Structures are given as structure tokens and as C-alpha cells.
């Protein structure tokens, strides 16, 4: 190899084109091997796992954060739905209670009205009976008073008391008219 390096130089004294100078090849190859293998080991053992880990950790963190945000959003939605449901239930409950109370009060009022009415009717009936009785009594009194008055009037006019029966008949007769 060393001999061919000498023969290739054209014109003898002129320096060889450096990239084709075979004398330097061995050094370049040795150092290329050393540095390339060293770099390969540094990259594959240390640098790339570390950088890859950083990138993976970041994308993992982003995915986790997004999942967490999604979870919180769902939680919020659940809470809102629960709140809405509670509100609707409470409203329905309130309406039910109001309706029940109203019905109960109306029923009580109705009952009281009926009992009051019943009592009033009873009193009315009693009053009517009393009136009828009083009326009958009064009527009988009227007949007695009218008969006495008629007897007295006739006695004064004619001087003699008429027969009680005749006067009573006449009074009854005129009362009927």
C-alpha cells in the first residue's frame, strides 16, 4: 500500500491530493472507529433513552392532564344533572304538598260548611215548628178572644148573652173566610 502511494504521484515532487493520500487512511479509520463507536454508545445508552423519556413523559403528562380535564368536566356535568334533578324533585314535591294541603283544607271547609248547614237546617226546622205551634196557639187564642169579644158585643147590643156555641160557630165561620 505504501509503495502504491508513491507511484501514484504524477510529476514526482508535486504533493498528492490529500483525500487520496493512502498514508493517512489508517489514522483516519482508527479515529473514525473510536469516535463513531464512542458516539454510538453515548447516544444509544445515555442520550436517546433520556431524550425519548423526556418526550414520552411530556406526552404522557399532556394525555393525563387532558384525561383529568375530561373527568372533571364529566363530574361537573353529573353534578349539574343531579342538581337539576333535585330541583325538579323539590318543585314537584312542593306542588304535591301544596295540592294536598289545598285539597285537605277544601275538604275540611266543605265538611264544616255541611255541618253548619245541617245545624242551621235543624234550627230552621225547629224554628218553623215553634212558629207553627205558636201560630196554632195564637189562632186558637184569636178564636177564643173573638168569641168572647163577639159575645160581649152582642150582649151589649141586645142585652142578653148569646149561646156560647152559636157565637163560636159564627166566629169560626168568619175566620174561615
Partner 1 sequence: MADPIQQFEIKKFVTLGHIGGHEIAFTNSALFMVIAVATISLLMLGTTGRRALVPGRMQSLAELSYEFVADTLKSSAGTEGMKFFPFVFTLFMFILTVNMIGLIPGTFTVTSHIVVTAVLALLVFFTVIIYGVYKNGFRFLKLFVPSGIPIYILPLIVFIEVLSFLSRPISHSVRLFANMLAGHITLKVFAGFVTMLGGMGVFGWLGATLPLALTVGLTALEFLVAFLQAYVFTILTCIYLNDALHPGH
Instruction: List interacting residues with partner 1 (CB under 8 A).
Output: 1-2, 17-21, 23-32, 35-36, 38-40, 42-44, 46-48, 50-55, 57-58, 61
Q: Return d(Cα 40, Cα 130) in angstroms, integer.
A: 130
Q: Least Å distance between CB 68 and partner 1?
A: 15
Q: Return d(Cα 32, Cα 36) in angstroms, integer.
A: 6
Q: Return the number of the residue (54 or 137) whose C-beta is nearest partner 1.
A: 54
Q: Return the number of the residue (46 or 105) whose C-beta is nearest partner 1.
A: 46
Q: Return d(Cα 40, Cα 57) in angstroms, integer.
A: 24
Q: Return the number of the residue (19 or 159) whose C-beta is nearest partner 1.
A: 19
Q: Return the number of the residue (24 or 115) whose C-beta is nearest partner 1.
A: 24
Q: Least Å distance between CB 23 and partner 1?
A: 7
DSSP state of 1: -
Q: Least Å distance between CB 18 and partner 1?
A: 4
Q: Least Å distance between CB 57 and partner 1?
A: 7
DSSP letters of 104-132? HHHHHHHHHHHHHHHHHHHHHHHHHHHHH
Q: Which of 171, 153, 151, 172 is nearest to 162 (CA)?
A: 151
Amino acid at each position: 500500500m505504501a509503495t502504491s502511494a508513491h507511484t501514484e504521484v504524477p510529476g514526482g515532487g508535486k504533493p498528492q491530493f490529500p483525500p487520496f493520500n493512502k498514508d493517512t487512511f489508517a489514522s483516519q479509520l482508527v479515529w473514525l472507529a473510536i469516535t463513531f463507536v464512542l458516539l454510538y454508545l453515548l447516544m444509544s445508552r445515555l442520550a436517546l433513552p433520556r431524550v425519548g423519556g423526556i418526550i414520552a413523559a411530556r406526552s404522557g403528562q399532556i394525555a393525563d392532564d387532558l384525561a383529568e380535564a375530561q373527568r372533571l368536566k364529566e363530574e361537573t356535568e353529573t353534578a349539574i344533572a343531579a342538581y337539576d334533578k333535585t330541583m325538579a324533585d323539590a318543585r314537584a314535591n312542593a306542588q304535591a304538598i301544596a295540592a294536598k294541603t289545598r285539597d285537605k283544607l277544601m275538604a275540611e271547609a266543605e265538611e264544616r260548611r255541611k255541618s253548619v248547614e245541617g245545624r242551621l237546617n235543624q234550627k230552621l226546622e225547629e224554628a218553623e215548628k215553634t212558629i207553627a205551634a205558636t201560630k196554632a196557639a195564637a189562632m186558637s187564642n184569636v178564636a177564643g178572644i173573638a168569641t168572647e169579644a163577639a159575645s160581649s158585643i152582642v150582649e151589649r147590643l141586645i142585652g142578653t148573652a148569646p149561646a156560647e156555641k152559636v157565637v163560636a160557630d159564627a166566629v169560626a165561620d168568619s175566620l174561615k173566610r
